[in-house]
Amino acid sequence: MIQRAVTISAPHGLHTRPAALLVKAAQDFPCTITVLSQGRQASAKSLFRLQTLDLRYGTEITLQAEGEQAEQAIDRLSDMLSDLK
């Protein structure tokens, strides 16, 4: 299992449009990818589930991946989250 902490840096948080981009990127990988935030978790491959986490600016999350291409998935998704403005 691969894990990485990331802080949401987008001023408006992870609203629908960037969340949809994250989901699309996550779906490119065969592994299981989970986003953990404030004691809750959601699949990174489900837009609906991600939106239930209320990912606002400054929120620290943990990306967790397990399975084939887990490290590549974490690298790509954490880079995406860091680049959001």
pTM score: 0.93
pLDDT at res. 83 = 84
For each of the domains in the chain, give its residue range(s) and CATH number, in order of start: 2-83 (3.30.1340.10)
One pLDDT digit (tens) per residue for the chain, 85 residues: 999 999 998 899 998 999 999 999 999 999 999 999 999 999 999 999 999 998 999 999 999 999 999 999 999 999 999 887 7
* DSSP-derived secondary structure letter, 70: H
pLDDT at res. 82 = 86
Catalytic residues: 15
pLDDT at res. 74 = 98
Q: Please report, for residues 13, 27, 33, 81, the alpha-carbon distance to residue 85 in angstroms, rounded to integers and kept in the order given.
A: 9, 22, 23, 9
